[in-house]
Structure 1
């Protein structure tokens, strides 16, 4: 199945996800399953194609599919399985663009999935709704993960890592070759740049 068809099927579904057969073709293959010659997950390439399809037509309706793809990438990283190197980063950035507070926990799991993601998964991905808004949200959650995420975000805020989210967004759009939408092209400010 082509990536464009997968995205369209998900968009036409009430759940926001394609059929279970298609989801299986996107799912990380656990231990014992056939791998590519290099030991990588053979489904990672299709996930990368779907992410590429999503990147220039992203809408809030794509969130369930995007979250599913992120969950697969997190599982790969936790199991030290090679995958398309930018899948987890592109998933994170697209979730950043959607700016939904409910995705902060999933993004925190991605940040903590492995040593590599701890070092290389940008903290900015967690604050797509804005730094202050995200911190208020995390303060309202009385769970250990939220406390740790909040503390880390506050530390990054103090060092200046979160000072210019608009500049960060533009840089990542260039990196992933994402065309700004007409709406974004006419906007000079992100809702929150602190």
Structure 2
């Protein structure tokens, strides 16, 4: 199947995409991502996450979907990214923790702290705190690392 990205943007919830189709769509979005693509990227990442719950390893498609969603810069996407990271033992180890700060350290952390009713809040806060303490990260570090990940996929 050759992906019609414009059609997919408007009809992604009713379009069946297998793994190869999702990979093609993500590669197109790497080059042609628009401001309004966050819902589509959330959907693609959720599909990749579901696939990874049943398999081994970390696919390029999962990592790319997480990167593209993180680049949207929306604090609320931390939950979708956290779910992807928690899909399996392999994704926890292999999906980059830098991606858990889509709105920067302060914005994302404030969002998680304010999400008192979210069932994953405490686990995510503990992970973020440990990650930030271990790495001594700044927003510049996160931006540089994400740019490096993008460069990897663009090559």
Match of 1:155 in 2: 130
1:97 equivalent in alignment to 2:71: yes
Aligned-residue CA RMSD (Å): 1.9
Consecutive aligned runs of 4 or more in structure 1 exceeding 3 Å deviation: none
Q: What is the TM-score normalised by the length of structure 1? A: 0.72
- State the 1:60 CA deviation: 2.6
Q: Which structure has greater helix proportion? A: 2
CA offsets 1:117-159 (integer angstroms, 9 cap, x no match): 0100111111021011111100001133022112211111111
1:129 & 1:69 partners in 2: Cα distance? 20
Match of 1:122 in 2: 96
Kindly tell me the number of residue pairs found equivalent between the two proteins: 152
Greater RCO, CA 8 A, separation 6+ = 2
For structure 1, which runs of at least 5 residues remain unmatched after alignment? Answer: 27-42, 179-194
- In structure 2, the CA distance between the partners of 1:101 and 1:19, relative to structure 1 (3 Å rule), is closer
Among candidates 130, 144, 147, match of residue 167 of structure 1: 144
107-116 or 62-71, which moves further after superposition?
Answer: 62-71
1:10 & 1:132 partners in 2: Cα distance? 33
Indicate the structure (1 or 2) with the bigger Cα radius of gyration: 1
2:126 & 2:56 partners in 1: Cα distance? 29
For structure 2, which runs of at least 5 residues remain unmatched after alignment? Answer: none
- State the 1:166 CA deviation: 2.1
- In structure 2, the CA distance between the partners of 1:161 and 1:67, relative to structure 1 (3 Å rule), is farther
